[in-house]
A and B are shown apart, each in its own frame.
Chain A
């Protein structure tokens, strides 16, 4: 909110406290001041009168003789269209500092010019609060403005400073000036004086006006008929305060309603009495109709909306905006005052739907005390009498609940100190609460507070504690660590697994990425590894963020595409993240390789990010976690051939539990994303929590040397490497320690549908040094298998 320093000082003595000091103290007490802004500024200003104004030929300029005191007349050149003889004006003297710079004496077009005649904009006044005429030229002062007056800003009421205060939702009460004054008084320990308003509306003749509420959503209503008012110009001081608060002046009557709202916090509406010929107001919430509001726009009223009706016609959207029909204008001679208590939820819903976030609607939405209805009507009557010649009052009509219940909140000093960890004394606590008007009554350790109606946020002991600490000040708070029974801090199994996974991936040269959870419809449809039905947002923020992802695939590929677009080649990345489907939550590891994983042209080596590198990364990960290769099964990809290359991708199983897919992304999907070749794997992590890794155990070192035999043979191209190894191991028996394929060759000297396979068999016994004859039988079995099972042809 915009808080006028000058206005505030009407209620609370700010003598000796600069706006900056006030801002600092308010911020420390929880009312954060985000900015301090002077309404206008300028040194060496004086009020003058233009005695002569002669046009300078062939220019828009005027050469003036301007009187600035009884015996001083200055030559000043002025370019404003409204510069004319007899006008009282603001003169900036030589050396005057304005927001735009310093005024210096210098000739203009050969004419002497000793200063400048100012517009309000030149003093730094916000354009928002100026009329068209004011914006178009120099400021025209009243005829009675005293020549020679040098306190120009004060004379104009522009000597104010605005504090931009950010109110937390619990302190909406401070958006009323009177309540803000109380708060500031409590912060500064200074007395606060509200105007003498009480009971001012308790006057009037008997009324025939009828006010009815047909809904619980309007639970209180105070109305008052004022038969005579005079609509005219608003007094300058009130205009200034309204402007300071960010509200434009309209006319005295409308301005009073706004002014009282700003003072008390109660949104008011004044109806044009002449436009309520039926003499009634009925609040309903079950009608459908349209209404043209004050701003000239037509609004659709739906069932559930709170509406003010007269006769059968709508004349206001309750708590949001009045109708155009009953608007106050220059022809208005009598009014009806409305101060009502409308339901926050109903007002919020309607204002959001109609996109009418008016000042009134925002106040109702944040919640208001009931007591301020009466405050506002009292104050209205007072100001209308004084500034709108109001008379012909009828008696006040009150329906429903117009009074807050007394609220007593108790706390003990010992509990407050225990919760805060402080050693406050009773007298300082009592004083603090007294400054807040909490009327503390002390009984031993107990403090009993009667809470003012506007402090709707104070409900229980902890709220009192907060008031104590924030007003005495957090500087008094010491530091300690919790004194309690010991607890064990540790990671869960899942957290450990995640950390290990991250370390392994980073160690293998992959960069960790974090991508967005929300994805587009396309991404959802082209899921690389779906999990359940995808979850759709009820109200997405954009097409790109519509679904909760059920696979990490597209987000990761998007990241690679971004990097490629920015000349960042050779991407090797991984992400660990949750994915979601209806009723399903899974944690996944995604790995993507694009280009080389390792590359060094100078030292001549590279590791290409291909299928086998990806497989190596995955196998390394699982083996490092304690899952021996023999427990892992790689199968043909029958799960997703649409987005994976059908012949270069695989399903991965651990102890027959499906973990996920990996391999080359299908060229069609890659093309769509503007990518060439990317290898990608996505695996569920959670199953690992259920699958026990092997216990880490020392294997006895082999004491005897092994024997190695190399075999090279030609088989059909489609024979799987793993099938050969499994068969050989079986045939070779216990002595076969290892079989490793060290070369695959296709090309010259090998038929098209064949391949040459070279492998090395390692024989090893744990109890003796093997001799040729020991392995002869085993090796023959292997050769036999080669022939029989694979129809292979041994190469020499």
Chain B
């Protein structure tokens, strides 16, 4: 009987001592193989008296199970450590720079346009479009700027022929939409797009630039509604906490007309170099749609009213991103474009 225990302990000790899979296998053969020590014990059983055989047999079986399970356990342990040793050889320098998987960039003007579009879509506005090669009629006449109106001096125009021009403002689209509506309300739209003026290009002027105008016409639309809407826009574009201020101004197609200042997002209205110490930044023009414009487009100015506003996309982008030269938008220097490689 002690013999069985002796074999078992010797086997367990050997298993414990085994440091690699190869020697463990040798131990397996030594103890569990056909010519192994445990089989030898089984063979010894034949010699025993009949009544001792079952007890002896069961003891040998226990011994076999113990050894087998110890072997399996050790095998697993050794396998894990062998794998770890192999993995170490796979070690890489994780500080080496990543692969250059280059995503493209969206043009900053398009980023701003999308931001404004999404903002107003959320408020139930649609987005109107219209031709850049426009009729004088929509660009000027319907916008309350008849021939020889002094305001035509304000915007030198690229004419193609006496009746056709490159639109000088996105107001032309507003007029097309008003005409299309044939006097029915509500109208709620924005109209972004390229516009053109006969300006020489320099750091702050461009013969081509982008505007986005908005137009709402309905019953009981007020100047206060305009203020609320623009406040919402200012907060979305320049961060929460912006306030806006109206200053009287003049546009032929609105009355009253206002210039709109936003409290400076860079100094929170305290005064800094961006707002030239005033705490305010002039950002857009707006007003109540001129009753004559409504009438010319077939609306009853007694029954409905509306507001309109217009913002220059370059101006917004220049302010938001600190761009100091408007020509950057149209030169498309790769280094400029790569500034806009993430969501704003």
Whether A associates with B in a native complex is: yes
B279 to chain A, nearest CB (A): 13
A506:B103 contact, CB within 8 angstroms = yes
Which residues of A (455-496) have their CB < 8 Å from a CB of B?
A: 460-463, 465-466, 469-470, 474, 477-492, 494-495
* A136 touches B (CB below 8 Å): no
A514:B258 contact, CB within 8 angstroms = no
Interface of B is mostly: mixed
B136 to chain A, nearest CB (A): 12
| In the complex with contacts A486-B124, A506-B105, A541-B200, A170-B110 CB distance below 8 A | no
Interface stretch among A39-47, A297-305, A558-566, A781-789? A558-566
A559:B332 contact, CB within 8 angstroms = yes
Q: CA separation between A420 and B307, bound complex, in Å?
A: 10
- In this complex, the member of A28, A465, A513 whose beta carbon has the largest number of chain B beta carbons within 10 angstroms is A513
* B236 touches A (CB below 8 Å): no
Q: Which chain B residue lies CB-closest to A505?
A: B104
| In the complex with contacts A466-B256, A506-B105, A602-B97 CB distance below 8 A | yes
Question: Which residues of the partner chain A approach B114 to less than 8 Å between Cβ atoms?
Answer: 499
Residue from the list A490, A491, A507, A563 in contact with B104, Cβ < 8 A: A507
A133 to chain B, nearest CB (A): 39
B273 to chain A, nearest CB (A): 18
Interface stretch among B22-30, B43-51, B75-83, B244-252? B244-252
A539:B159 contact, CB within 8 angstroms = yes
A462:B255 contact, CB within 8 angstroms = yes
Q: Which chain A residue lies CB-closest to B248?
A: A30
Q: Which chain B residue lies CB-closest to A538?
A: B159
| In the complex with contacts A506-B103, A602-B96, A495-B222 CB distance below 8 A | no
Give the contact-size bracket for chain B. 35 or more
A466:B133 contact, CB within 8 angstroms = no
A113 to chain B, nearest CB (A): 39
| In the complex with contacts A419-B305, A477-B246, A513-B332 CB distance below 8 A | yes
B243 to chain A, nearest CB (A): 9
* A548 touches B (CB below 8 Å): yes
Q: CA separation between A491 and B125, bound complex, in Å?
A: 9
Residue from the list A418, A510, A518 in contact with B220, Cβ < 8 A: A418
* A517 touches B (CB below 8 Å): yes
A537:B158 contact, CB within 8 angstroms = yes
Q: CA separation between A562 and B336, bound complex, in Å?
A: 13
Task: Encode contact with A along B133-176: 1 for CB under 8 Å, 0 otherwise.
Answer: 10000000000000010110110001111000010000000000
Question: Which residues of the partner chain A approach B97 to less than 8 Å between Cβ atoms?
Answer: 602
* B127 touches A (CB below 8 Å): yes
Q: CA separation between A344 and B196, bound complex, in Å?
A: 26
Interface stretch among A65-73, A142-150, A571-579? A571-579
Residue from the list A477, A491, A514, A580 in contact with B107, Cβ < 8 A: A514
A171:B126 contact, CB within 8 angstroms = no
Which residues of A (510-558) have their CB < 8 Å from a CB of B?
A: 510-518, 535-541, 545, 548
A365:B255 contact, CB within 8 angstroms = no
* B284 touches A (CB below 8 Å): no
B218:A482 contact, CB within 8 angstroms = yes
* A568 touches B (CB below 8 Å): yes
* B95 touches A (CB below 8 Å): no
| In the complex with contacts A509-B103, A511-B334, A345-B207 CB distance below 8 A | no
B256:A469 contact, CB within 8 angstroms = yes
A511:B104 contact, CB within 8 angstroms = yes
Q: CA separation between A506 and B111, bound complex, in Å?
A: 12
A545:B148 contact, CB within 8 angstroms = no
Question: Which residues of the partner chain A approach B166 to less than 8 Å between Cβ atoms?
Answer: 517, 537, 548
A512:B288 contact, CB within 8 angstroms = no
| In the complex with contacts A506-B103, A514-B110, A489-B123 CB distance below 8 A | yes
* B188 touches A (CB below 8 Å): yes
Residue from the list A421, A513, A566, A598 in contact with B222, Cβ < 8 A: A421
A484:B218 contact, CB within 8 angstroms = yes
A513:B104 contact, CB within 8 angstroms = no
* B65 touches A (CB below 8 Å): no
Q: Which chain A residue lies CB-closest to B150?
A: A169
A502:B110 contact, CB within 8 angstroms = yes
B247:A28 contact, CB within 8 angstroms = yes
A337 to chain B, nearest CB (A): 27
| In the complex with contacts A345-B148, A482-B225, A600-B99, A514-B154 CB distance below 8 A | no
B332:A515 contact, CB within 8 angstroms = yes
Residue from the list B104, B127, B219 in contact with A495, Cβ < 8 A: B127
Which residues of B (99-128) have their CB < 8 Å from a CB of A?
A: 99-107, 109-110, 114, 117, 120-127
A562:B331 contact, CB within 8 angstroms = yes
B131 to chain A, nearest CB (A): 6
Task: Encode contact with A along B202-223: 1 for CB under 8 Å, 0 otherwise.
Answer: 0000011000000010111111
B257:A466 contact, CB within 8 angstroms = yes
Question: Which residues of the partner chain B approach A428 to less than 8 Å between Cβ atoms?
Answer: none
* B73 touches A (CB below 8 Å): no
Q: CA separation between A366 and B250, bound complex, in Å?
A: 14
* B52 touches A (CB below 8 Å): no
Q: CA separation between A562 and B328, bound complex, in Å?
A: 12
B101:A516 contact, CB within 8 angstroms = no
B160:A538 contact, CB within 8 angstroms = yes
Residue from the list B110, B249, B291 in contact with A168, Cβ < 8 A: B249
Which residues of A (431-477) have their CB < 8 Å from a CB of B?
A: 460-463, 465-466, 469-470, 474, 477
Question: Which residues of the partner chain B approach A172 to less than 8 Å between Cβ atoms?
Answer: 150
- In this complex, the member of B126, B216, B231 whose beta carbon has the largest number of chain A beta carbons within 10 angstroms is B126
* B337 touches A (CB below 8 Å): yes
| In the complex with contacts A478-B227, A486-B124, A578-B132, A466-B100 CB distance below 8 A | no
* B53 touches A (CB below 8 Å): no
Q: Which chain B residue lies CB-closest to A468?
A: B256
Question: Which residues of the partner chain B approach A513 to less than 8 Å between Cβ atoms?
Answer: 107, 332, 337
Q: CA separation between A421 and B222, bound complex, in Å?
A: 5
A514:B332 contact, CB within 8 angstroms = yes
- In this complex, the member of A462, A470, A566, A599 whose beta carbon has the largest number of chain B beta carbons within 10 angstroms is A462
A367:B150 contact, CB within 8 angstroms = yes
* A269 touches B (CB below 8 Å): no
Question: Which residues of the partner chain A approach B16 to less than 8 Å between Cβ atoms?
Answer: none
Q: CA separation between A274 and B110, bound complex, in Å?
A: 69
Q: CA separation between A29 and B250, bound complex, in Å?
A: 12
* A603 touches B (CB below 8 Å): yes
Which residues of B (222-265) have their CB < 8 Å from a CB of A?
A: 222-225, 227-229, 231-232, 245-250, 255-258
Residue from the list A27, A481, A511, A517 in contact with B194, Cβ < 8 A: A517
Which residues of B (171-196) have their CB < 8 Å from a CB of A?
A: 185-186, 188, 194, 196
A477:B227 contact, CB within 8 angstroms = yes
B334:A571 contact, CB within 8 angstroms = yes
A517:B196 contact, CB within 8 angstroms = yes
Question: Which residues of the partner chain A approach B151 to less than 8 Å between Cβ atoms?
Answer: 169
Q: Which chain A residue lies CB-closest to B229?
A: A481
B107:A171 contact, CB within 8 angstroms = no
Q: Which chain A residue lies CB-closest to B119?
A: A489
A480 to chain B, nearest CB (A): 5
A484:B186 contact, CB within 8 angstroms = yes
Question: Which residues of the partner chain A approach B331 to less than 8 Å between Cβ atoms?
Answer: 559, 562
B207:A487 contact, CB within 8 angstroms = no
B109:A484 contact, CB within 8 angstroms = no
B161 to chain A, nearest CB (A): 6
Known: A30-B250, A490-B121. 7 other contacts (CB 8 A): A474-B245, A474-B248, A480-B222, A506-B103, A517-B166, A562-B333, A568-B333
Can you name 22 A-B pairs with beta carbons within 8 Å?
A: A169-B250, A171-B250, A344-B148, A419-B223, A420-B224, A421-B225, A421-B227, A462-B288, A465-B256, A465-B288, A466-B255, A469-B223, A474-B247, A488-B124, A495-B117, A512-B106, A517-B194, A548-B133, A559-B331, A563-B333, A563-B334, A580-B133
